[in-house]
Amino acid sequence: MDSQTAVSFMRLWCASLLTLLRDKGAVLLLFGAPMLYGFFYPWFYQQQVVQRVPVAVVVQDNSGLARQVLRFAQASPRIDPQLVTGDEAQARDAVLRGTVMGYALIGHDFKRDVLRSDKVVVPVYANGAYPLVSKQVQYGFAEAVGTVSAGVEMKRLQASGQSALQSAASRSPVNVHNVALFNPTEGYGSFVVAAVAILILQQTLLMGGALLVGTWREQGVAHASVRQWLARLLALCVPGWLAGLFYFGWIFIWQDYPHGGNPWGALLLLACFVPAVAGCASLLGWWLANRERALQVVLFTSIPLAFMGGFTWPVEALPDALQWLRWLSPSTAGIQASLRLNQMGAPLAAAAQPMLWLALMALSSWAAMLWIGSRHKLSEK
C-alpha cells in the first residue's frame, strides 16, 4: 500500500468515525453506556463479602456453655445476633418478617448432653431465598459452635492426662490452611464483575454497532466499497478498544479487583475480541435493517448470555445444544480468555483456544460483512 492509498484510507476511516460520532444514540451506547456501567455496576458489590448479618439465637439452656456459644456468635464478623430469646416461635416470626435472616437453637439439655458425651446437634435455620446471606448465617454459627466444641474436646483430653499442646495436636492432627487463589478477598464483586465486564463490552458495542448499521440501511447508504466498509468496521472498533482499556486499565484497578496478571495477553485479547463483536454487530444491523430493532433484539440476550458464559452457572449443567450454541457469542470465549489472562495471570498458551476462536470469528464476520456490504443488491426504501 503506497502513501497515497494509505492517506485515502485514513480519510475514509476518519469520515466513518465522524459519522459514528454524529449519531447521538450510537455515541450514548458506545461511549456513555460502558462508562456508566463501569461506575454503576461495581457499586452494588463494594462490600465484596456479606458481613454482620442480623440473626437470632434461641437459648433454652441457662448454662455457662450455652452463654459461651452466644458470646462466640456475637464476636463473629459474619453474623450479628440482634435477638436473643428462649422462644423459638419468636425467632421464626422474626425470620418471616425479615427482621433477622436466620437463627440457631440451643436446646434445653445442651450442657447435660455435652457432659454425658451424647451427640449434640445445634440446628441452624437460614433464609434460603438469599444464598449469600444464608451461607454467612450457617458459616457464622458453625464457627461459633465449632470453637466451643473444640474447647470442650481439648478439656476432655487434658483431663485424661495430656498436656495443652498434646491435646491440641490430638484434637487436630492435620490442619488445613485455605488460600483463595486469584480472589484473595473471596469477594463477590471480584468474582462477578471481572466476568460481566466482558459481557458489558460486548452488549454495548453490539447494540451501538447494529443500531448504526441499521440506520445506514434505513437511509440507503449502507452499500459501499470494500475499502469503505473496512474503514467503517475499524471505526466501530475504536469505542470498543477504548472501553476495554477503560475497564482493564482503570475500573479493575480503582475497584481493587484482581487484574494485570498478563497485561500483554489482555491487550491481545482486546485486539481479537473487539473486532469479533464489531463484525457480529454489523451483520446483525444489516440483517435487521432497522435502527430500533437492534436494541429490542440484543437487550433480552444479556441474561441468557451471562448464564451461558460459564461463570455464574456450571457449563456441564447446560443442555448439550446450549454448550455448543454459546460459542456463537464472542463473550463466551472472551470471558474464558479474560479470566485466565487478566485475573489468573496465565500464559498466553493457556488462553490460546478461546483467542483463536475470537480471531476466527473476527475474520469470518469481517469477510462476510465486506462481501455483503459491497455486493448486496439493495432493496431498501
Higher-confidence residue: 14 or 158?
14
The residue type found at 265 is G
pLDDT, position 170: 61
pLDDT, position 164: 66
pLDDT, position 376: 57
300 has a pLDDT exceeding 90: no
pLDDT, position 377: 46
With beta carbons less than 8 A apart as the criterion, state whether 278 and 209 touch: yes
Q: Where are the alpha helices (DSSP H) in 327-351?
A: 330-338
Higher-confidence residue: 195 or 106?
106
pLDDT, position 343: 79
With beta carbons less than 8 A apart as the criterion, state whether 268 and 245 touch: no
Give per-residue burial for 190-208: e unless 16+ CB within 10 Å, then b. bbbbbbbbbbbbbbbbbbb
Q: Which fold has domain 53-171?
A: abc type-2 transporter like fold (3.40.1710)
CA dist 151 and 164 (Å) reads 11
Note the pTM of the prediction, 2 decimals: 0.76
pLDDT, position 367: 94
pLDDT, position 81: 93
Every domain of the chain and the residues it spans: 3-45+185-375, 53-171
Q: Is 151 helix (H, G, I), strand (E, B) or coil?
A: helix
Q: State pLDDT tens for residues 91-115.
A: 999 999 989 999 999 988 888 888 8
Instruction: Quote the cell numbers at residue 242.
Output: 477504548
Beta strands in the chain (DSSP E): 53-59, 79-85, 102-106, 124-126
Instruction: Quote the cell numbers at residue 259.
Output: 487484574
Choose the weakest-confidence range: 7-21, 105-119, 251-265.
251-265
pLDDT, position 276: 96
pLDDT, position 280: 94
The residue type found at 134 is S
Instruction: Quote the cell numbers at residue 75.
Output: 464476636
Percent of the chain with pLDDT over 90: 35
Confidence of residue 373 (pLDDT cuts 50, 70, 90): confident
Confidence of residue 236 (pLDDT cuts 50, 70, 90): very high
Say which residues have a Cβ less than 8 Å from residue 151's Cβ, sequence separation at least 6. Answer: 68
Say which residues have a Cβ less than 8 Å from residue 246's Cβ, sequence separation at least 6. Answer: 34, 35, 38
Phi/psi of residue 16, nearest 5 degrees: -65, -40
pLDDT, position 298: 85
* Mean pLDDT on 128-133: 84
151 has a pLDDT exceeding 80: no
pLDDT, position 251: 82
Choose the weakest-confidence range: 56-60, 227-231, 232-236, 260-264.
260-264
- The per-residue pLDDT of the chain, averaged, comes to 85
Phi/psi of residue 58, nearest 5 degrees: -95, 110
With beta carbons less than 8 A apart as the criterion, state whether 70 and 117 touch: no
Choose the weakest-confidence range: 3-7, 147-151, 153-157, 247-251.
153-157
CA dist 150 and 140 (Å) reads 15
pLDDT, position 380: 44
Q: State pLDDT tens for residues 156-179.
A: 666 777 776 666 666 666 677 777
| Maximal CA-CA distance, the chain | 95
The residue type found at 258 is P
